[in-house]
């Protein structure tokens, strides 16, 4: 969720109920320095990405069930070793990093005109740990799937393209997002 002004690093300085404030805590400064311009560009890029990927705004919740004919589930939660998480692993208090595979090719949603929506598959790695974590690119079917790096929030783009079985280092406290189709800038 984005509050107006977050995209240009506006802050309420920790005040979670600033409605009664009429001062710099609630005012938005539209004077953008270079850092604020970069953040605004980054947020615009993420908004465009979300709009272009219907798998990120499905009408129905993911079920974690296999998709007929594809041999994969609609959503798969992954450990850094590339294997699917089980119920017990969800309760590990020390788990600080996980991956998520979203099967865009298995969408069952339709657009306003009754046509089935299509999307690329997405692979997202979240690293909330204070150390870098190596993530193994999962092997979800018999094919070596190729993925293209859309964004790495650490600004450390190591590789543009990876495939199943490869290792990708996700920097501490960052997120890396991959798609099965190369994104246009």
Please check whether residues 67 and 45 belong to one and the same domain.
no
pLDDT at position 5, please? Answer: 81
Beta bridge partners of 167: 136
pLDDT at position 156, please? Answer: 59
pLDDT band at 77 (very low <50, low <70, confident <90, very high): very high
Closest CA to 121 of 179, 68, 51, 47: 179
Instruction: Tell me, yes or no, whether 119 lies in a domain.
Output: yes
Range of the domain at 37: 6-49
> Number of H helices and number of E strands within the chain?
2, 8
Please check whether residues 45 and 73 belong to one and the same domain.
no
Beta bridge partners of 163: 146
pLDDT band at 65 (very low <50, low <70, confident <90, very high): confident
Query: How much is the average pLDDT of 174-178?
Result: 95
Please check whether residues 165 and 93 belong to one and the same domain.
yes
With a CB cutoff of 8 Å and minimum separation 6, the contacts of 73 are 64, 65, 66, 67, 103
Q: Answer whether 90's CB lies under 8 Å from 78's CB.
A: no
Per-residue pLDDT at 72 exceeds 70 = yes
Instruction: Tell me, yes or no, whether 127 lies in a domain.
Output: yes
Angle (CA) 156-161-163 rounded to 5° is 120
Please check whether residues 96 and 130 belong to one and the same domain.
yes
Please check whether residues 72 and 125 belong to one and the same domain.
yes
Over the stretch 92-104, which tens digit does the pLDDT of each residue have?
877 889 999 998 8
DSSP assigned state of 69 = T
Q: Answer whether 128's CB lies under 8 Å from 101's CB.
A: no
Residue scoring higher pLDDT (74 or 136)? 136
Instruction: Tell me, yes or no, whether 184 lies in a domain.
Output: no
Structure tokens at 158: 């190591």
CA dihedral of residues 155, 6, 150, 134 (deg, nearest 10): 50
Please check whether residues 38 and 105 belong to one and the same domain.
no
Which residue's structure tokens are 């979203």? Answer: 102
With a CB cutoff of 8 Å and minimum separation 6, the contacts of 64 are 73, 74, 75, 76
Please check whether residues 21 and 95 belong to one and the same domain.
no
């Amino acid at each position: 969720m984005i509050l107006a002004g977050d995209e240009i690093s506006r802050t309420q300085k920790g005040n979670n109920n600033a409605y009664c404030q009429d001062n710099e805590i609630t005012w938005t400064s539209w004077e953008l320095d270079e850092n604020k311009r970069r953040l605004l560009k980054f947020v615009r890029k993420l908004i465009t990405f979300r709009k272009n990927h219907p798998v990120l705004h499905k009408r129905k919740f993911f079920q974690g069930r296999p998709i007929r004919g594809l041999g994969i589930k609609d959503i798969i939660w992954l450990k850094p070793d590339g294997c699917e998480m089980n119920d017990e692993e969800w309760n590990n208090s020390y788990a600080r990093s996980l991956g998520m595979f979203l099967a865009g090719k298995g969408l069952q949603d339709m657009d306003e005109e009754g046509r089935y929506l299509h999307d690329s598959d997405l692979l997202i790695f979240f690293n909330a740990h204070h150390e870098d974590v190596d993530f193994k690119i999962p092997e979800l079917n018999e094919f070596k799937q190729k993925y293209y790096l859309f964004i790495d929030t650490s600004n450390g783009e190591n590789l543009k393209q990876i495939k199943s079985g490869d290792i990708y280092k996700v920097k501490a406290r960052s997120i890396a997002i991959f798609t099965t189709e190369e994104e246009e800038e």
